[in-house]
Each structure stands twice: as structure tokens, then as C-alpha cells.
Amino acid sequence: MTGRYQGGCLCGAVRYKAEGEPINQRVCHCQLCQKAIGAAFNARVLFAIKDVAVQGEVAMVNSSPDLKRGFCPKCGTTMFSRRDSAGIIGITTGSLDDPGVFKPQMHIYTAFKQPWVTIDDGLPQYEGAPPA
């Protein structure tokens, strides 16, 4: 697998590659992302599901009625957030081979950001979901 947006889990059992340009790139501060990622926020790159190829077994869990989180059942690395009804999949930037390709466009759900997180990157911030 080669490409700009590729990566996988810590143990190497799961690999993925995304083709084309992302739909968007965001930093989400919601409590569901914090819990699922185990960190203060989820920096993720969003693609159409059809543009992402995955090799290896991925375990899925619903974190909300319409959102599934995908992780490696061997090492536990969280790699995906998937909304089948919208045909989209978010890739966690920490699972990318080169996280430096991530170019965030905004911060969302900042009403839930941790008090010790300071956002001073000049990007738009939304207390909830961004405008449509």
C-alpha cells in the first residue's frame, strides 16, 4: 500500500489506504471522541467509505446510534469512526504513517474541550457541530 493517507494499527495487523482528497479535516473535542480515543480530542481526516481500503480484521463498536468506531482487536488501536448512513469514514491522525499530512480546518464541539487545552491556531472554532 502506498499513498498519502495510509496507516494502520500499532501491531501491524490492520492497514488502510485512502485514495483522493479528504472531505474535511477536523479536530473534535466532544466527550464521545475523548472517550473513544483516550485523549483530549480526536484529530481526524474524513473520506467517503468507498475511498478507503482496509486490510486486516477490524472490530467495531457503536458509540452512538449512527456512529461506529473501528479498532484493532489485537492491539486496541482506534483507527476509524464510520457513519454508514452518510457513507463517510473518519481516520484518526495518530494511526497515519505520516500524521504530518493532517491539515486541520477547524475545531468542533469546543464546549467540551478540556480546560487545560488552549486553542490558539487561528482556525474556526464551533461550540457544537459546524455549520452545514
Q: Which segments of 61-107 does DSSP mark as H helices, in order?
A: none
With a cut of 70, which residues of the chain have pLDDT below it? Answer: 1-3
The predicted structure's pLDDT at residue 132: 81
Give residue 1's pLDDT: 47
CATH number 3.30.70.100 given to 5-112: no
Residue 50: name the closest of 15, 80, 20 by CA.
20
Q: 41 φ, ψ to 5°? A: -160, 170
What the block records as the C-alpha cell of 88 is 463517510
Domain ranges of the chain: 5-112
All cell numbers assigned to 105: 480546518
Q: What's the pTM value of the predicted model, to 2 decimals?
A: 0.93
pLDDT value of residue 4? 86
Q: Which residues pair with 18 in a beta bridge?
A: 5, 52
**Whether the Cβ atoms of residue 40 and residue 29 lie closer than 8 Å to each other:** yes
Q: What is the pLDDT of residue 2?
A: 52
Interior CA angle at 99 toward 13 and 44, to 5°? Answer: 85
